[in-house]
Structure 1
Amino acid sequence: MSDVRPLPFIYQFAAGAVAGISEILVMYPLDVVKTRMQLQVSGGAGPQYHGVVDCIKQIVAKEGASRLYKGISSPVLMEAPKRATKFACNDEFQKIYKREFGNGKLTQSLSILSGASAGCCEAFVVVPFELVKIRLQDASSSYKGPIDVVRKIIAKEGVLAMYNGLESTLWRHGVWNSGYFGLIFQVRNLLPKAQSKTEQTRNDLIAGTIGGTFGSLLSTPFDVVKSRVQNTAVVPGAVRKYNWSCPALLTIYKEEGFKALYKGFVPKVLRLGPGGGILLVVFTGVMDFFRASYYK
């Protein structure tokens, strides 16, 4: 059974960083596929993908297998602060909300609230990295690398353009984290109580995978919007087709239908379902390691 003794914030931050990098190294190609499918406009110019396998085949055939890891430097740099912020802030918000609401124990409602709050904090950290990643993953990208993306965006669109898509990112992360941590709480309570480290790992993998799947189901429409917003350059005086989340959701729905709001869902859930399990297992394991050293 996992140790629950509290640790200082820095240990939670470090454990989240290790968990995030572990997940991204394993699951990144599916993130490239997800982005390509989300940027694809039905009947528009550019490659047309007919599912996850077809997208992977086209990318490998036309651009080479290495393209499946195109732009990974940005998310690797992002994953440490991103996942560290997710888990550390979630743990801190749980403490805050238990104290403020007078609950000695964590409830599912507080898990959802803590997850949403942590997601909003996470969004502020990830937006510039996500922007760079989206621009690099686009099939029509002509950027030479992350630094080239940043330099050109600032030169052509201004410094504030690095936070293009912040509002949609807040929605995506708030919704995903509330579903993820809310389901983890519920599933852990339904599973048989772990009596060993192996059983604890099993429970964390199941709970994290279910939480990641449900979080993906809730957040995918906002993820589609975020990808479209961040891949649209800011041009002074020009009206952007995709800008704020709700109008963008309506535009996509009217022009492409309801299914378009779930473009990239399959690769997203294939990544963040098992990825959510990997995150929870690694985070719990690293936290237990830190506790063994801290309390010895």
Structure 2
Amino acid sequence: MGVKGFVEGGIASIVAGCSTHPLDLIKVRMQLQGESSAAAAQPALRPALAFQAGAHTVTLPHAPTPVPKPGPIGICTQILRAEGAAGLFSGISATMLRQTLYSTTRMGLYDILKKRWTQENAGVLPLHRKIAAGLIAGGVGAAVGNPADLAMVRMQADGRLPLADRRNYRSVGDAIARMTRDEGVRSLWRGSALTVNRAMIVTASQLATYDQAKEAILARRGPAADGLGTHVAASFAAGIVAAAASNPVDVVKTRVMNMKVAPGAPPPYAGALDCALKTVRSEGVMALYKGFIPTVSRQGPFTVVLFVTLEQVRKVFKDVEF
């Protein structure tokens, strides 16, 4: 029972992660908007207004005009122009490793806890126990997968930096090796508190919502409805709930993981709370929902592919014991 859940969940997670990687890349690029250097972050100024007052010319500067930021389609177009089609798959090796470590762990552990607690509750698992299972599974999975998650964020963000500032990791292995050499082993768990918090929120909301929605549909329509339509409907609901719950934490996590710390200089952010406060002060509260559209656009398809694939893999391994 134990190993089987990990294998099934791992296969489904890798398929879902690879198929939605470009959407995740666009989400990361959007979340980093407004976090460029001080010079680049300065808003564009309209020409000053000058008028004659006697023998003197008086100049009144106009209020700065914010530069409009591109949306998901604009970001995608920028990537295609600057990096080509291959740019949409920057960091995919890290995505595969992340899904192998993080998602395999969380899916397998959730399956173990769900089955064990269902037996203890006479075959019925209440919603709060599903949420608890998701919180535990997500936290453990995130702790295991943080190095790959960190590498993925950096590889996805690299293309938006000036050429001189890019890290140019060749692969996830090269990224982890260079981070270890240049920043120390502890750097592989930079932002791990955020990763764990986000994973707990995502896993609890995603897996618990899917199970709850699927059970509600089957209770209403009967066991015969346990097919593709039910799986898609339940997983789509789970994707929306998970995206809405996790986006603020995801924005902070992305920025903390991507920050560059110059030798001898203080880091841009002292921690998660400092990052959140600075983001809100400089960009407003809604900055915590940057990338929400691509997050939903990615989380929805990812969750649908994840659970539809998982249900099919379960059928394949139905009579297999390992």
Q: 2:94 aligns with which of 60, 74, 77?
A: 74
TM-score, length basis structure 2: 0.81
The residue that corresponds to 1:223 in the other structure is: 250
RMSD: 2.4
Task: Indicate whether 1:118 and 2:137 are aligned.
Answer: yes
Q: 2:167 aligns with which of 142, 154, 157?
A: 142
Task: Indicate whether 1:131 and 2:150 are aligned.
Answer: yes
Task: Tell me if the contact between 1:253 and 1:261 (Cα under 8 Å) persists in the aligned partners.
Answer: yes
The residue that corresponds to 1:176 in the other structure is: 202
Percent identity of equivalent pairs: 29
CA distance in 2, matches of 1:235, 1:98: 51
Gapped runs of 5+ residues in structure 1?
1-7
User: Rg bigger for which structure?
Assistant: 2
CA distance in 2, matches of 1:243, 1:94: 38
Distance 1:188 1:156, change over 3 A: same
The one-letter amino acid of 1:143's match is: N
CA distance in 1, matches of 2:132, 2:311: 21
Moved more, 223-232 or 240-249: 240-249
The residue that corresponds to 1:249 in the other structure is: 276
Alpha-carbon shift at residue 294 of structure 1 (Å)? 4.0
CA distance in 2, matches of 1:193, 1:52: 38
Task: Tell me if the contact between 2:79 and 2:88 (Cα under 8 Å) persists in the aligned partners.
Answer: yes
Q: 1:108 aligns with which of 107, 127, 144?
A: 127
Task: Tell me if the contact between 1:165 and 1:243 (Cα under 8 Å) persists in the aligned partners.
Answer: no
Task: Indicate whether 1:41 and 2:61 are aligned.
Answer: no
Q: 2:74 aligns with which of 45, 54, 60?
A: 54
Alpha-carbon shift at residue 152 of structure 1 (Å)? 2.6
Task: Tell me if the contact between 2:261 and 2:268 (Cα under 8 Å) persists in the aligned partners.
Answer: no
Gapped runs of 5+ residues in structure 2?
42-66
Alpha-carbon shift at residue 236 of structure 1 (Å)? 5.7
The one-letter amino acid of 2:15's match is: S
The residue that corresponds to 1:287 in the other structure is: 314
Q: 2:19 aligns with which of 12, 17, 26?
A: 26
Distance 1:14 1:217, change over 3 A: same
CA distance in 2, matches of 1:294, 1:200: 23
TM-score, length basis structure 1: 0.88
User: Secondary structure of the equivalent of 2:229?
Assistant: helix
- CA displacement 1:98-146 (0-9 Å, x = unmatched): 567x564111111111111111011112210111111111122331413
Task: Tell me if the contact between 2:260 and 2:268 (Cα under 8 Å) persists in the aligned partners.
Answer: no
CA distance in 2, matches of 1:125, 1:48: 39
CA distance in 2, matches of 1:256, 1:65: 31
CA distance in 2, matches of 1:96, 1:148: 40
Alpha-carbon shift at residue 237 of structure 1 (Å)? 5.0
- CA displacement 1:218-262 (0-9 Å, x = unmatched): 101111111111112345654323343233222211111111101
Q: 1:163 aligns with which of 173, 176, 189?
A: 189
Distance 1:159 1:149, change over 3 A: same
Task: Tell me if the contact between 1:16 and 1:80 (Cα under 8 Å) persists in the aligned partners.
Answer: no
User: Secondary structure of the equivalent of 2:168?
Assistant: coil
CA distance in 2, matches of 1:220, 1:270: 12
The one-letter amino acid of 2:310's match is: F
The residue that corresponds to 1:5 in the other structure is: none
Task: Indicate whether 1:12 and 2:5 are aligned.
Answer: yes
Alpha-carbon shift at residue 195 of structure 1 (Å)? 4.2
Distance 1:59 1:177, change over 3 A: same
